[in-house]
Structure formats: C-alpha cells, structure tokens
C-alpha cells in the first residue's frame, strides 16, 4: 500500500492548483490513499465548507486539520456530518465539533487515521501522547494500519511522538511549520516518519504568507492582516510505502514535490 500525505494547503489558489495536479500525481505514484492537511486552505486561518469540498473534489481522500480547525464556523456541521473525510485534532475537548480519528477501508484494509495537535508552544490541550494511546486501546482489533498527522510546532515533540509510536503505528508525519524537513526515515521498529511534510502554496512568501505583511508584524509588533503570497504554487508532501503483509511495516519514505 502507498499513502500520499500532502503538506498544509495555503489559500484558494493552492486548492485550485491541486485540482489540476493532485489526481494525476497520485495516479502516477500509485497512491492508494491521499491525505491533505487543510487547516490553512481558506486564506490562511481555517477551512470553510466550500473549500473543504473543493479539496475533496481535487482528489484528497481525507482532510486533517490543526490549531485553526475551528476558524470558520460554517465548517462545524460538515465536521460532524462528514467525519469519514475530515477530522480535527483528537485532543481537543469532546464538546468541539467533529472527531479526531476515522477508519477508512482502503484496498481491503482498515486504515485508522488519527489527527493530533502538539502542546509545546501551542494551545493547552489534552496530552497528545496519552490521547493517542487511548485511541489505539479503544479501537484495538478494528484496524489493520494506523497513521497519524501530528500538527505540532516543536520538532522535538514530533520526533518524540514518532519514537513513542514506533512499531505500534505504521506512519507518523508532522504538519504545521510549513517547512519540509529532510529526515524522511523508517524508525527502528518499522514506522515511517517525517517531522514535517512542508506546505502546498506560493513559494514567493513566508510560509505561504505575503512577506511584507510578516516583516511589518515582526518589525513593529503592530496588528497586521496576513494575506496569501503571490507567485508560483508548489505542492510538498511525502509518499509512504508499506509492505503487503502483516504487520504492514513501512519500507520506504519518499519526499514528493510537484
């Protein structure tokens, strides 16, 4: 099985770009499942319902989110109604819209897809390590393969999660920082890992955002309206290849750019 994970989508132009490129790219790679982090897709802060639907139309099988999961109120009902195709971090309170994981059937196998938010330099949420342990225990016997989108700021927290789950889940990938890391690897017990997928958005900016707005904010500390940068769009992600027999260990982790 091959699973393609695409980094944080930034802005509507990035969604449109995926609409032109994602299906053909996934087909050429032989991807069985395509996952996109969409929490910045609606002009940086959040995801609205129409943009979520556009990402799915573009070829995403599953959308994950992060600290801007609830940035658009019109997504709340969609989160509740379509938990099969969109999930938010599981360590948010249970009263929040949506759910933190789903089980998808892919090529005859049951894939448990989990979304978590880090807590180092981010919101104070439930402990992500304890949260994922509870999910694995609760769903034991109901899945064949497990993957995790860990939406976190600190690289140390992401790598710690990789080692925490090594051999217990098949894939751990990080999102949030929008910078692709060069540490694609298979951990010692067979878990495919990368600290950050990168982003899908304009390369002529700062993390997809207009550079002048970011510089003004950093120079002055004044309130600033961030907008998506202009220029060419690039999609960044990672392709994970799993062996075709239990325990479906990851055997290859490849960085993908298109």
Q: Residues with Cβ < 8 Å from 236, sequence gap 6 or more?
A: 6, 7, 180, 197, 198, 199, 200, 255, 256, 257
Cα dihedral 89/117/177/215 (nearest 10): 100
CA pair distance 112, 101, nearest whole angstrom: 7
68 tagged catalytic: yes
Give all strands (DSSP E) within the chain, no chain letters: 2-6, 8-9, 33-37, 62-64, 101-106, 109-117, 145-151, 171-175, 185-186, 192-194, 199-202, 233-242, 250-257
Tokens of 215: 């510089």
CA pair distance 201, 207, nearest whole angstrom: 8
- Residues known to be catalytic: 68
């Amino acid at each position: 099985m091959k699973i393609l994970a695409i980094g944080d989508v930034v802005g509507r132009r990035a969604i449109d770009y995926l609409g032109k490129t994602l299906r053909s790219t996934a087909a050429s790679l032989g991807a069985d499942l395509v996952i996109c982090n969409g929490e910045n897709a609606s002009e940086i802060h959040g995801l609205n319902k129409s943009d979520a639907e556009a990402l799915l139309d573009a070829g995403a099988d599953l959308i994950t989110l992060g600290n801007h999961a609830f940035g658009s109120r019109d997504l709340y009902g969609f989160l509740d109604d379509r938990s099969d195709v969109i999930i938010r971090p599981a360590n948010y309170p249970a009263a929040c819209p949506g759910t933190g994981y789903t089980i998808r059937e892919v090529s005859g196998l049951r894939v448990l897809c989990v979304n978590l938010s880090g807590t180092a330099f981010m919101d104070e949420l439930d402990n992500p390590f304890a949260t994922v342990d509870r999910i694995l225990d609760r769903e034991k016997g109901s899945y064949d393969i497990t993957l995790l989108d860990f939406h976190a700021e600190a690289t140390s927290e992401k790598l710690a999660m990789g080692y925490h789950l090594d051999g217990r889940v098949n894939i751990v990938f990080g999102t949030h920082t929008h910078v692709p890391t060069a540490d694609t690897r298979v951990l010692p017990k067979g878990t495919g890992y990368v600290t950050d997928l990168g982003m899908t958005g304009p390369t002529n900016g700062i993390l997809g955002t207009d550079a002048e707005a970011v510089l003004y904010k950093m120079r002055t500390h004044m309130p600033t309206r961030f907008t998506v940068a202009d220029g060419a769009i690039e999609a960044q992600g990672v392709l994970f290849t799993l062996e075709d027999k239990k325990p479906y260990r990851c055997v290859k982790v490849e960085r993908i750019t298109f």
